Structure 1
Amino acid sequence: MTATETPRLPFYRLAPGIHGPLLALTRAATKGLDRSLVELLLIRASQLNHCAFCLDMHVTDARKAGETDERIALLGAWEEATGLYSPKERAALALTEAVTLLTDGFVPDEVYDRAAAHFEDADLVRLIALITAINSWNRINVAARIPVGASLAPAEAVPAEAAPAGGAS
């Protein structure tokens, strides 16, 4: 394991009260949404945030949901992969990118309106909550360097022997 792969903190063990509510938000946000679409959005946000842990998890989950290797592999270039993603999926992917990046400090009206044209208000709320949740997971996992394949259960997220020196375990 290189220095960049070494976990920094046993994050979920040190802060077990964070894992449950974030998991509850994620579950609530996915209620009623197509599982395949959910996984595509989780993968795309995780690509943008460079979260290897989440990418590994959600690529596996997307395959279980019936996604093809082609659609998963080309997700990073969804705008150029015309015909591979439906207009509804493309609208949700655009919204995912806008909420994830917030480069101009806002979600452009045209991106929001495009998504609103494909989703009822309650589903749009769930999409935004889902994108917010995956961004939280990504940022925590990247900052704490949660390794690919680690368990996120609060007592098991990082084994004690992998915790950094200095009493952080």
Structure 2
Amino acid sequence: MTTNTTASRVNFAAAAPKAFKALIGFDAAAREGLDPALVELIQIRSSQLNGCAYCLHMHVSDARKAGEDDLRLHMVAVWREAAQFFSAKEQAALALTEAVTLVAADGVEDEVYAQAAAQFDEAELGHVLAIIFAINTWNRLAISTGKVAGTDERR
């Protein structure tokens, strides 16, 4: 098994500042009009699926600071089996998050999309999709550049 070190990884924000700023702007625009707790649940689930410890640590910490219940945070990974902890809207968002994050496996099935479309109006659904796209990009950036979970450094 190869050990990765962060010393030789690019500082993306410094190396590609315009792209980094554009990503920050996209992320901010994606959040508009969405419940911050829902945004954190989406980011947590995507980060779990992508194996991004850096982002997972950040978003669990942010969710806790925003008052999210620890029990719900522990149940995100098994939300289908713990459906009673999540609203129908949250369940639809989590299902869509999984489908989009794992899009190469099965695409986004019509049933999953329809479930989300039934819970969100068109603008909200657009923003839910945008936050899923954003967190998947952040996950790939953090993993590729060797970000370390628990560091104080933000993105």
Determine if the TM-score, normalized by the shorter chain, exceeds 0.5. yes
Is the contact between residue 5 and residue 147 of structure 1 (CA under 8 Å) also seen in structure 2?
no
Mapped to 2, the partners of 1:86 and 1:4 lie a distance apart of 39
Aligned to 1:26: 27
Counterpart of 1:3 in structure 2: which amino acid?
T
Q: CA deviation at 1:152?
A: 4.1
| Residue of structure 1 equivalent to 2:153 | 151
2:142 is aligned to: 141
Identity among equivalent positions (%) equals 49
1:50 to 2:51 alignment: yes
Three-state SS of the structure 1 residue aligned to 2:83 is coil
Contact 1:12/1:152, CA 8 A, preserved across alignment: no
Change (3 A) 1:67 1:4: same
Aligned-pair Cα RMSD in Å: 1.6
Which structure is higher in RCO with an 8 Å CA cutoff and minimum separation 6?
1
Deviation at 1:151, TM superposition (A): 2.4
Instruction: Give me the whole-angstrom Cα distance separating, in 1, the residues matched to 2:19 and 2:148.
Output: 18
Tell me, yes or no, if the aligned pair for 2:46 and 2:136 is still in contact at 8 Å: yes
4+ runs of 1 displaced by more than 4 Å? none
Letter in 2 for 1:151: E
Richer in helix (by share): 2
Structure-to-structure mapping, 1:112-131, within 5 angstroms? 112-131=113-132
Unaligned 5+ runs, structure 1: 154-169
Q: Which moved more, 1:29-38 or 1:62-71?
A: 62-71
In structure 2, the CA distance between the partners of 1:78 and 1:5, relative to structure 1 (3 Å rule), is: farther
Structure 2, unaligned runs of 5 or more:
none
Number of aligned residue pairs? 152
TM-score by length of structure 1 reads 0.84
Distance 1:5 1:32 in 2: 39
**TM-score, normalised via structure 2 length:** 0.91
